[in-house]
Amino acid sequence: IGVYFRQIDSDRSRTISFDEFEQGMKERHIYFSRDEIFTLFKLFDKDGNGTISYDEFLVSVRVSLNIASF
């Protein structure tokens, strides 16, 4: 999971901007509309500051993995 975060964080700021998130989705061949990507981005951006921190990313992915295991 950490590897994916670092790959998407192209400027190495230790956060993911919306542009990085959108580009990361495209590079992984996940083709959603811009509005759908923005909605997903907002789900990851727990504190609403416009970026996804590593902790926010991990929490969101862990929740998704737990839901998927049911």
- pTM score > 0.85 for this model? no
**Confidence (pLDDT) at 60:** 83
> For 6-47, how does the pLDDT look when each residue is reduced to its tens digit (9 = 90+)?
999 999 999 999 999 999 999 999 999 999 999 999 999 999
Structural element, H or E, at residue 53: strand 51-53
Residue 64 has pLDDT above 80, yes or no: no
The pair of structure tokens assigned to 54 is: 């590593």
Confidence tier at 4 by pLDDT (50, 70, 90): confident
